[in-house]
Structure 1
Amino acid sequence: MSATPAEPAPRQHWEQLVRFRGESDWPEGSKVEITDGTIVVTPPQAVPHHRIAARVQRSLYTVLPEEWGVYQTLGVAHPSRGRLYIPDLVVIPDAVVDELDGGDPAPLTAAELVVEVTSPCNASYDRIDKAAAYAQAGVPLYVLIDRFAPAGPTVTLHGEPKDEVYQELQRVKFGEDVRLPAPFGLTLDTGVFPLGA
């Protein structure tokens, strides 16, 4: 997958966007992110979406170093690219989170793993925009759980970001295993993922 580098967001514009995002009254349960200097609002997710995230989170905790955490609602930012995301799951060192002030986002560059679960309204956003953004930030691994892939539900493991582009390390259909490399050394059983909308 290739990506076109985004122009850096001017500092003042970035601060205005972050302030507007934090002070505005968004629909309850929605996810409010910033991508390439634009605010993107995603409606609340369906139960199958949350069940998949919970199953992956439970599995991750069996292999994580004690000093790392798995977060479902933590904002991660890459200000120089004008991006602030709230991944479905992000693995990040606790020391990074402990340094945050209030509701500040963590630096995306500190993430060890990001997991996104697609929804009908954001599937292409997760497949293209976020994959490019996570690679550009140097996140070592990105797991895309694509319930709405054109050929049927799939899980794609992206890794080895080089020149701001990921390599596709593995792609499986729901029901097959995905093996996360070190430092995780975890096999995810995708057969337990619900298929419902």
Structure 2
Amino acid sequence: MTAPVIEASDTWHRLVSTWQELDVPDGWRAEITGGSIVMSPPPANTHNLIASRIQRALLPATPENCEIFQTLGVSIAPMFRLYIPDVVVMPVDDIGLDPEHDTAPTPARYALLIAEVTSKDNANHDRVTKLEAYARAQVPLYLLVDRWDKKGPSVTLFSAPDGRKYHGELRVSVGESITIPEPFGINLDTSLFGI
């Protein structure tokens, strides 16, 4: 008797299907990382304020065909990862508005910018795991607001991904401005974050 062969794509589809069927409590996030579904409690108020201020700053500079989301599931299927970033700028045509697939995650590669705000208990997840995944998906801009950086609260913009890592990295201390390049072309005043 031989064991059935389970294709990686079958496993991914089962994970996503399970993720879609979860009854997640309000405010909680369910993400897929390393082949497991992980639940996170609602973020702290300061965390939410920072995400909101990032969204507000990006809004006037967001390309016409795009929207800004705070609860959009983005997938990196080859890595068996599905995240719900704090802020995502995504072309509307790429999010899949088909009612039959309305809960399907959107491939992260379509995002123009993803922003994450670290939480105290899982800051390394945003610093390392998500950094690697977004670079692999070739998300052009990854904005990391690290409230728990050992050198003091910081904001880092990663850019120029090659499918393995980001080659561009611009870091400022919170309180300074950081340039978000085209298609946004703005200076983000991080003193608005209130940390």
Q: Please, what TM-score do these two structures have when normalized by structure 2? A: 0.91
Q: Could you tell me how far 1:98 is from its partner in structure 2?
A: 4.3
Larger helix share, 1 or 2:
2
Question: Partners of 2:156 and 2:168 in 1: how far apart?
Answer: 7
State the Cα deviation string for residues 105-124 of structure 1 (Å, max 9, x = none): 11111111100000112200
Q: Does the aligned pair in 2 maintain the 1:42–1:122 contact within 8 Å?
A: no
Structure 2 equivalent of residue 15 of structure 1: 13
Structure 1 equivalent of residue 150 of structure 2: 150
Question: Partners of 2:105 and 2:162 in 1: how far apart?
Answer: 25
Structure 1 equivalent of residue 188 of structure 2: 188
Q: Does the aligned pair in 2 maintain the 1:77–1:85 contact within 8 Å?
A: yes
Structure 2 equivalent of residue 170 of structure 1: 170
Question: Aligned to 2:166, what secondary structure does the other structure show?
Answer: strand
Structure 2 equivalent of residue 71 of structure 1: 69
Identity over the aligned pairs, expressed in percent? 44
Please give the residue correspondences for 1:24-173 in structure 2 after superposition, counting only pairs within 5 Å: 24-100=22-98, 101-173=101-173
Question: Partners of 2:82 and 2:28 in 1: how far apart?
Answer: 15
RMSD of the TM alignment (CA)? 1.5
Question: Aligned to 2:120, what secondary structure does the other structure show?
Answer: coil
Q: Please, what TM-score do these two structures have when normalized by structure 1? A: 0.90
Question: Partners of 2:94 and 2:169 in 1: how far apart?
Answer: 27
Question: Partners of 1:137 and 1:24 in 2: how far apart?
Answer: 25
Q: Could you tell me how far 1:163 is from its partner in structure 2?
A: 4.7
Q: Cα gap change, 1:27/1:98 in structure 2, threshold over 3 Å: closer, same or farther?
A: closer
Larger relative contact order (Cα-Cα within 8 Å, sequence gap ≥ 6): 1
Unaligned residue ranges in structure 1 (runs of 5+):
1-8
Q: Does the aligned pair in 2 maintain the 1:116–1:144 contact within 8 Å?
A: yes
